[in-house]
Structure 1
Amino acid sequence: MYNITLVCTRHDELGKCNSNELYQIIELINPEVIFEEIPPTFFDEYYLDKRRANLETDTINKYIQNHKIEHIPVDSNNFPSEEFFKDHKRMIEKIEGLADINGFTFRNLVDNNKIYTERYGFKYLNSIDSININNEICNALENGLQKINNDKLFLTFKLWKDINDMRENQMLQNIYLYSQDHNYDRAIFTIGAAHRKSIIDKIFEYQKNEKVKLNWIF
């Protein structure tokens, strides 16, 4: 009971990372529950009004046409502001624009991440190789920020890390709260691959403290 497979993905299709491949993964696991990286307040926009869409929700929309499952939004409703997203985009553009080893390294790692995702799809996104490249991307970003030495960019980076930390904790908390009140044998938790290492680290901590013991499958 309480078997949860962590399925790391990305939110738009790229090569072998596509809806058909994800559909086959879901079908193979045959879950009773899918925990989704979307805020509850956006659920209707993805599944009723369908004014929003991403790779995961497109796949789940197809899957629920032929399968009876529960799919639960577990992300935080405390969504960042539009201004924050603009600041984050400007931060990335500044790092990408560096004409030194920091800019080259960052651009090269981001390009390789896309190439491997396109070529190997979910096999790559759920591997140690994906974890390693995402760690290197984060390190290259920090090195680039040190080079630029701009207080506004440092603040944006800190907020970005704090927001992701808060969201990951909220998602795991919601999964464990749901599991306290519901029985199931097989579940899936879909989340962006950039979260893979930190969410696994947090899972090990939750397993020490939570009353409900979930059997996580990585």
Structure 2
Amino acid sequence: MHTITFISTIHEETGNCNAEELYKIIEKLSPEVIFLEAVEKTYSEYERYLFSTYGVYHKKLEIAAIQKYHKSNILFEYVPVCENSLSDALNRKNKIVHQNRERQQLINNFKFLAEKYGFKFLNSLESIILLEEIRVLESQLLNDNDVNEILKADIEAYENPMIRNIYSYCNNNHFNSAIFMCGAAHRKSIIEKIDRSKIEEQANLTWTIFES
């Protein structure tokens, strides 16, 4: 039986959302496989060399935490599960909505809570509710702008391969425990996809949603 724990993260350190705190979570779960929201080139051979030879940690929070875990446990598999990056639609959206004060206040509140409460907040219902509030406001600001629909389609095309690649790995490899780390902005959608996959996919797999 494969067991995968889904953990929401952010990609850059801020306050209590840092590599050391994430490492503690990983160490406690002691996974044999680590699935990450990343493409293959995110952790290059050169960056692996810098870490193994000089102890230089990666700038991406999750990979820095994985590197810390590697120091105490070398017998695990790192598996990046993204097939592509998000398109320019995300930047186009941000250019349209970035000056809205209400949105900025919501974002500042999210950042404050992440800094103060760390991964406990990122993996909470409160985080999902706040991010959904931001999304609803952004949709209202975009109104009928085609960027909104393009971005929704892009996010689906970005997230679906992650779940598909995890199941593919599970069907072709033996392990007991794993984790899947993905940015908190995707938490609600990924949980919904996980719930659907339990019905649609034929796999000897149990999902756990991390809530610290």
Q: TM-score, normalised by structure 2?
A: 0.88
- Name the CA distance, whole Å, in 1 between partners of 2:152 and 2:69: 33
Q: Is the 8 A contact 1:46 1:52 kept in 2?
A: no
- Name the CA distance, whole Å, in 1 between partners of 2:159 and 2:173: 21
Q: 1:25 to 1:115 in 2, by over 3 A?
A: same
2:126 corresponds in structure 1 to 129
More divergent stretch after superposition (155-164 vs 179-188)? 155-164
Q: 1:189 to 1:137 in 2, by over 3 A?
A: same
- Name the CA distance, whole Å, in 2 between partners of 1:79 and 1:162: 13
| Pairwise CA distance, 1:42 | 3.4
- Name the CA distance, whole Å, in 2 between partners of 1:175 and 1:115: 32
Aligned residue pair count: 202
Identity percentage over the alignment? 37
- Name the CA distance, whole Å, in 2 between partners of 1:96 and 1:41: 29
Q: TM-score, normalised by structure 1?
A: 0.85
| Pairwise CA distance, 1:167 | 1.6
CA RMSD of aligned residues (A): 2.0
**Stretches of structure 1 lacking an aligned partner (at least 5 in a row):** 98-102
Q: Is the 8 A contact 2:19 2:62 kept in 1?
A: yes
Equivalent of residue 76 in structure 2, options 56, 69, 72: 69
- Name the CA distance, whole Å, in 2 between partners of 1:203 and 1:27: 24
Cα offsets for 1:10-48 (capped at 9, x unmatched): 000011100110000000001000001111243425853
**Stretches of structure 2 lacking an aligned partner (at least 5 in a row):** 51-56
Q: Are 1:25 and 2:22 an aligned pair?
A: no
- Where do 1:146-157 residues align within 5 Å? 146=143, 154-157=145-148
More divergent stretch after superposition (154-163 vs 119-128)? 154-163
Q: Is the 8 A contact 1:45 1:52 kept in 2?
A: no
2:117 corresponds in structure 1 to 120
Cα offsets for 1:133-162 (capped at 9, x unmatched): 11000001011112xx6xxxx233322222
